[in-house]
Amino acid sequence: NAGVTQTPKFQVLKTGQSMTLQCAQDMNHEYMSWYRQDPGMGLRLIHYSVGAGITDQGEVPNGYNVSRSTTEDFPLRLLSAAPSQTSVYFCASSYRSLGGADEKLFFGSGTQLSVL
Amino acid sequence: GENVEQHPSTLSVQEGDSAVIKCTYSDSASNYFPWYKQELGKGPQLIIDIRSNVGEKKDQRIAVTLNKTAKHFSLHITETQPEDSAVYFCAARLSNFGNEKLTFGTGTRLTIIP
């Protein structure tokens, strides 16, 4: 049981380049999400999914796209990277019981992205 | 929407002393309050959570207290050890919503001084 796996761990892009951050979980979680972590700003939700084929925007979605074709995978795409997207990105997943106890978020180990 | 403020942003304590981190929230309807610990180079991990039908919850050396009237909750770590050094995040949401409604505080970097 690997949990939440994110790749790559580090990435440097030039302004305007595109890339995909990969996220996979093996816990059969319905809910998957992407956060960015910036100094002094905590964890901010970019996009999330409550099941295969369903995605929605979080607090800071601009410049990012997502898709959820399987329960296991939830890739995050940067269409045209900008310096403002320099950040640490975390993928997280959980069960979705809407009020139940077993909803803790499981986070991946993060991707450090620098856009020059 | 919900707004969560967390203080202090950094905290240094001597090994063996206690550490307290405080959070306030804005939405009086929020009733689920988890705390996550992020060790260097890793993703955050849930360490304790509390729901608003209780005022305090303990798990060994860590405890969380909740004051619904004042809309604040705190993390208490007693007998601190070097492995407690990490960034701690509080969060809040309504328990009958999903984690897409979870709002995080800005984090506290805790350093334990040997």
Q: Is residue B90 within 8 Å of B41, Cβ to Cβ?
A: no
From chain B, pick out residues whose CB is under 8 angstroms from the CB of A99.
95-96
- What would the two tokens of residue A98 be? 């809407």
Q: Is residue A38 within 8 Å of A90, Cβ to Cβ?
A: no
Average the pLDDT over B79-106 and give the result.
93
**Would you call B98 and A107 a contact, using CB atoms and an 8 Å cutoff?**
no
Closest CA–CA distance from residue A104 to any residue of chain B (Å): 7
Would the pLDDT of A101 be above 70? no
What pLDDT is recorded for position A100? 64
Cα gap B51→A109, rounded to integer Å: 27
Cα gap A31→A72, rounded to integer Å: 10
The reply to whether B25 touches chain A by the CB within 8 Å rule is: no
Would the pLDDT of A5 be above 70? yes
Q: Is residue A45 within 8 Å of A60, Cβ to Cβ?
A: yes
What pLDDT is recorded for position B96? 77
Q: Is residue B22 within 8 Å of B74, Cβ to Cβ?
A: yes
- Determine what percent of chain A falls in helix, strand and coil, rounding each to the nearest 5: 5, 50, 45
Position B56, amino acid: E
- What would the two tokens of residue B79 be? 């007998």
From chain A, pick out residues whose CB is under 8 angstroms from the CB of B46.
104-105
Tens-place pLDDT, residues B56-77:
999 999 999 999 999 999 999 9
**Would you call A50 and B44 a contact, using CB atoms and an 8 Å cutoff?**
no
What pLDDT is recorded for position B51? 87
From chain A, pick out residues whose CB is under 8 angstroms from the CB of B106.
40-42
